[in-house]
């Protein structure tokens, strides 16, 4: 099931990117410790490494990843920020995921 592996890898990648950006946000906007920048940098390094694990062209991976990132960010909005997504948020996420699926899983000529 390569599709499930690809989607799972994208989800982990999105979480690494969001955590890597959220921790500096906590420092800059919420007055948390500057030491949050250390795990933030590690998380962003993991994000870049995770993107490199896909066996297809980098540009295709980056384009498709954006769709998963949108959906994971909406999940973050709900689970971490405590804000329930609107129907429009969910629709936009579904459309983005459809775009990701088309980009990553469409048949290709060899």
pLDDT of residue 1: 74
- In the prediction, which pLDDT does 57 show? 82
Q: What is the pTM of this model?
A: 0.88
Backbone angles phi, psi at 27, to 5 degrees: -65, -50
Predicted pLDDT at 56? 83
CA distance 41 to 64: 24
Consecutive 10-residue averages of pLDDT for the chain (110 residues): 87 96 97 97 97 86 92 96 97 96 86
Burial status of residue 101 (CB atoms within 10 A of its CB: 0-12, 13-18, 19 or more): middle
């Amino acid at each position: 099931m390569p599709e499930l592996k690809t989607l799972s890898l994208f989800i982990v990648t999105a979480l690494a990117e969001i955590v890597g950006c959220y921790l500096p946000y906590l420092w800059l906007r919420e007055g948390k410790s500057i030491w949050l920048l250390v795990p933030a940098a590690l998380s962003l390094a993991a994000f870049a490494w995770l993107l490199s694990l896909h066996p297809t062209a980098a540009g295709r991976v980056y384009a498709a990843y954006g769709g998963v990132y949108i959906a994971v960010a909406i999940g973050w909005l709900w689970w971490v920020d405590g804000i329930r997504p609107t129907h429009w948020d969910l629709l936009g996420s579904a459309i983005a995921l459809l775009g990701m699926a088309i980009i990553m899983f469409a048949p290709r000529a060899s």
